[in-house]
A and B are shown apart, each in its own frame.
Chain A
Amino acid sequence: MARVLVGVKRVIDYAVKIRVKPDKSGVVTDGVKHSMNPFDEIAVEEAVRMKEKKLASEVIAVSCGPAQSQETLRTALAMGADRAIHIEVAGAEYETMQPIHVAKILAKLSKDEKADIVIVGKQAIDDDSNQTAQMTAALLDWPQGTFASKVEKTDSGLTVTREIDGGLETIKTKIPAVISADLRLNEPRYATLPNIMKAKKKPLKKMTAKDLGVDLTPRIKVISVEDPPVRQAGSIVPDVDTLIAKLKEGGHI
């Protein structure tokens, strides 16, 4: 049976209105509600289902970030992961952390933990990078099934249905492999109370990037983060004729 490693990222909750910092260096995160990246939640759910179907022996959740990332890991544990690893990255170092660093950490951990399958969300909703799965696969030299909307275990490996432009693509991969979860892969469960209580007692190991020999020096510099342009207010016109005239005036028809 396979051992599954799942990457989970703590991000600003998607229901929160994002505010850009006045100095345009990033977005305001202090005092803002955070939750698990929704696509990572789907990844955890898929791993837990594999375990419930006896396709996986153990699910390990990994998160890189500040101390609060442990809350995200507890959520993963409450959903059914067996144990968690927190790679503590704080302050300025976390602000410049990029997918390449996370991929290196996941790749190293996959080897150390003897994982057979790595599942991550297809992207995090904060930076929208969509790189971690691909980079992890490349570093490990494993096959990858990205944008998965269905994952089935076969004798020789996995059959992954991928969401691609205009349709679905079905591929077969060997194990070990890296999967990235798309929106329709599953509907994540709500952690139940008994499991939330149990999760508090499950093992959570704390490590640093240094322990894994990963250098967190940034490779990319963020020049400026800006709000999208404000939408102009609409106006109400009295009748269809005026509407058509206005549209013509604006050169839309």
Chain B
Amino acid sequence: MINSLTLFVTYIKNFKVLNQVRCASQVLPQFSSEKYKVKRKPFGTIEASDVDYFKTVLSEDRVLTDDNDVLPFNIDWIKNCRGQSKLVLKPKTTQEVSTILKYCNQKRLAVCPQGGNTGLVGGSVPVFDEIVLSFMLMNKIISFDEISGALICEAGCILENLDNYVRERNLIMPLDLGAKGSCHIGGNISTNAGGLRLLRYGNLHGSVLGVEAVKADGTVIDCLKSLKKDNTGYHLKHLFIGSEGTLGLVTKVAIHCPALPKAVSVGFFGVEKFEDILRLYANAKSSLGEILSAFEMADNDSISSTAKNLKLPNPISDYPFYVLLETHGSDEAHDSEKLTRFLEKEMESGLILDGTVTSDPAKMQTIWNLRENIAAAGLVEGYMFKYDVSLPLRNYYSLVPLLRQRLGAKASRVYGYGHVGDGNIHINVIVPKYSPEASSMLEPYIFEEVAKLKGSISAEHGVGFRKPQFIHYSKDANALQLMQQLKQLMDPNGILNPYKVLPEI
């Protein structure tokens, strides 16, 4: 009995897929500095005396210098970037982070902060020999107020662990994303992660109540209040949300957790054409109102390749487009009545060709798995160029056919999927092998097109190492100049996550 049920559970809850894919290819990626031709900045180099110093700050087992130990910290999870760091530090307290940064700042030693290392733009791995500062041991929950929903914790807490913790207390984390099993809350905040439920619960600039961060010179900035309203002076916490560790390192977080929905339903539908998805979205907003918590789309290539490559079941048959719709509410009967009325109407109108709807947790998980694993599924087929852009909804999908046409047979697959509700589409281009030629056909072309449509070249993945040279497509010169000034003010020696976010001047 136990065996067969475990099998049943693991079969449906395919949480480990991401890790399997991660281990699938054993070839080490090329050094980022060679692949993207970057020159090392004149930072100090680590000497034996530095390592000895760090060993006095941290215990010996929290200072990694062995090549094999350091290697995983040098490679990002899509195996696109590889740094050459020789040193990983694992602080346990804000004080330790502060001491380390103070020393690094004096010695001009560059630092690369790292959370769960699930970023997609190379922001979380070093480029040269930056010291990796891993937050994995700063994983304690400090306090939780069950009435206000304010959770205060350290930056290295894994999102899924936090979600499980607050769920036991009838609340949920305000964000959810495919990498939840590995990503850290500190990384989520530093990258302003969006995810699957942004439509309902808003982005982190709204749900983060407070932040404690350490500046490059070791100064601890304590904005860790758990208040919803606090208009006292400049809202400094926002500087650390989305600045990708270039202005300071987030060490603690206060975040607002919404109520655990008592009733959840997931629908998965087949749709004929993209225009129908937009109409369906507009109708869903007006018919479902406050219970609509996610509205996701994926094209046929996204779903069929994920189902095939990762052997995940597709609950419905082949359609040109798919929509995943989720509702979060407090009353099952009320939600199901609304949802049924909406579905009946849209089946009749023909916007929904076919589909399924369920409120069984296991079945909902299977459907979400299919959606969440699209990102990982392409890695099996070759090298993946990933783009994460925001576009006005009218033009949401228009880049995918453009890119298919432009690349022709050079790409084995071009597909688009994403968060329609947030105007955010992910476009993956799979080529059999990385080539500068394919790269030059895509970049900067895709960013130029996004700029023409008044979109953003990075919706939720950030700028990281991969996109500073393209940031100007989405931000004007004056805005960029102010960013440079802020960087100069907060990190005058530029030791925090160098080569990332801002372009060279």
A35 touches B362 (CB 8 A): yes
The reply to whether B360 and A13 contact each other, CB–CB distance below 8 Å, is: yes
- Residue B365 lies at the interface, judged by CB distance under 8 Å to chain A: yes
* A14 and B356 form a contact (CB under 8 A): no
Closest to A238 in B: B61
CA gap between A192 and B1 in the complex, in Å: 30
Separation of A194 and B354 alpha carbons in the complex (Å): 7
Whether A14 contacts B362 in the complex (CB less than 8 A), given A123-B1, A187-B313, A197-B344, comes out as yes
Check A193 against B315 for contact (C-beta < 8 Å): no
Within the complex, which residue of B4, B13, B362 is in contact with A182, where a contact is CB–CB below 8 Å? B4
Which residues from chain A contact B313 at a C-beta distance below 8 Å? 187
Contacts of B316 in A (CB 8 A): 190, 192
Q: How far is the CA of A189 from the CA of B358 in the complex (A)?
A: 12
User: Chain A residues near B344 (CB, 8 Å)?
Assistant: 197
Contact call A33/B358, Cβ cutoff below 8 A: no
B343 interface residue (CB < 8 Å to A): yes
Within 8 A of B (CB), among A157-206: 182-183, 187, 189-194, 196-197
Known interface pairs A190-B315, A193-B356, A197-B344; A38-B361 also in contact (CB < 8 Å):
no
| Chain B minimum-CB-distance residue to A197 | B344
Check B1–A13 contact: CB distance below 8 A.
no
* Contact partner, B347, options A13, A16, A193, Cβ 8 Å: A193
Q: A1-53: which residues lie under 8 A (CB-CB) from chain B?
A: 13-16, 31, 33, 35-36, 38
Flag if A196 contacts B357 (CB, 8 Å): yes
Size of the A side of the interface (Cβ < 8 Å), in residues, is: 25
Partner of A191 from the list B4, B262, B347, B356 (CB cut-off 8 Å) is B356
Q: Contact between A128 and B356 (Cβ–Cβ < 8 Å)?
A: no
**Residues of B with C-beta under 8 A to A196:** 343, 356-357
Bitwise interface map of B from 1 to 37 toward A, beta carbon under 8 Å scored 1, else 0: 1001101110001000000000000000000000000
A62 at the interface (CB under 8 A from B): no
B-side interface mostly:
mixed
Interface string of A196-220 (1 = CB under 8 A from B): 1100000000000000000000000
Asked whether any CB of chain A lies closer than 8 Å to the CB of B128, the reply is: no
A125 at interface by CB-CB < 8 Å: yes
Q: A13-B362, A14-B362, A33-B361 are in contact. Are A193 and B8 (CB under 8 A)?
A: no
The docked-state distance in angstroms from the alpha carbon of A1 to that of B313 is: 32
Are B347 and A197 touching (Cβ within 8 A)? yes
Most chain A CB within 10 A, of B13, B262, B359, B360, is at B360
Contact across chains for B61 and A14 when beta carbons are under 8 A apart: no
B61 pairs with A190, CB closer than 8 A:
no
CA–CA, A14 to B5, complex, Å? 9
Contacts of B4 in A (CB 8 A): 182-183
Which residues in window 51-72 of B have CB below 8 A to A? 61
Q: Are B361 and A13 in contact (CB under 8 A)?
A: yes
A15 to B8, CA, bound (A): 11
Q: Are A192 and B361 touching (Cβ within 8 A)?
A: no
Interface status of B269 (Cβ within 8 A of chain A): yes
A101 → B minimal CB distance (Å): 22
Q: Are B9 and A14 in contact (CB under 8 A)?
A: yes
Interface centre among A15, A190, A192 (most CB of B within 10 A): A190
User: Is B352 close to A, CB under 8 A?
Assistant: yes
Q: Which of B1, B269, B315 has a CB less than 8 Å from the CB of A128?
A: B1
Q: Is B238 an interface residue (CB 8 A)?
A: no
- The docked-state distance in angstroms from the alpha carbon of A192 to that of B360 is 14
From B9, B61, B343, B360, contact of A193 by CB (8 A): B343
Residues of A within 8 A of B (CB): 13-16, 31, 33, 35-36, 38, 123, 125, 128, 130, 182-183, 187, 189-194, 196-197, 238
What are 30 A-B interface contacts by the 8 Å CB criterion?
Answer: A13-B360, A13-B361, A13-B362, A14-B5, A14-B9, A14-B362, A16-B361, A31-B262, A33-B361, A35-B360, A35-B362, A36-B360, A38-B8, A38-B362, A123-B1, A183-B4, A187-B313, A189-B315, A190-B268, A190-B315, A190-B363, A191-B358, A192-B316, A192-B354, A192-B355, A193-B269, A193-B352, A193-B354, A194-B354, A196-B357
Q: List 5 other contacts, CB 8 Å, given A14-B5, A190-B358, A193-B354.
A: A182-B4, A190-B356, A192-B316, A193-B269, A193-B352
